[in-house]
Amino acid sequence: MQRVGVFLDYENVHRTGHGLYASAENVYETVVNPLKIAERLVAKRKFPSELSYVGVFRGRPVPAFQARAASANDIQADAWRTDARVVIHRRDLKYDMGSDGKWSGAREKGIDVALAVNLVETYCANCTTQQ
């Protein structure tokens, strides 16, 4: 049986899923369950496989700017962590400030790099333990 790890850029998965399947106008009215997605991917493999790791990489709203969104993000992360296979990697969102000193938008920074680094570290750690 092959052990499988799934690495998800949450925002990309979320927006793609919303675009394909959701009827709600607001993208944040839909939520993706990373564990269910990973389990489904592993179940579709040709070879007998066991899901051993789900890495979720996601931006986190800063409470000072988006208190409600930060709270929802925290609640989701806590719910996903109830399964020991799920590891959440979050980075605070970066906020663009307008000339009036108020924030005008939020962006994820460093999520793709964090995912790539974790993928390589996880792969290399498993290679050395199997030699």
State the DSSP string of 28-51: GG----HHHHHHHHHHT-SS-EEE
**10 Å Cβ neighbour count for 58?**
24
Q: What is the DSSP letter of 131?
A: -
Mean pLDDT by 10 residues, the chain (131 residues): 94 88 74 94 95 96 93 95 96 89 85 94 73 49
| Interstrand relation of 94-97 and 86-92 (parallel, antiparallel or unpaired) | unpaired
Which residue type does 32 have? V
Residue 128: what pLDDT? 59
| Domains of the chain by residue range | 2-130
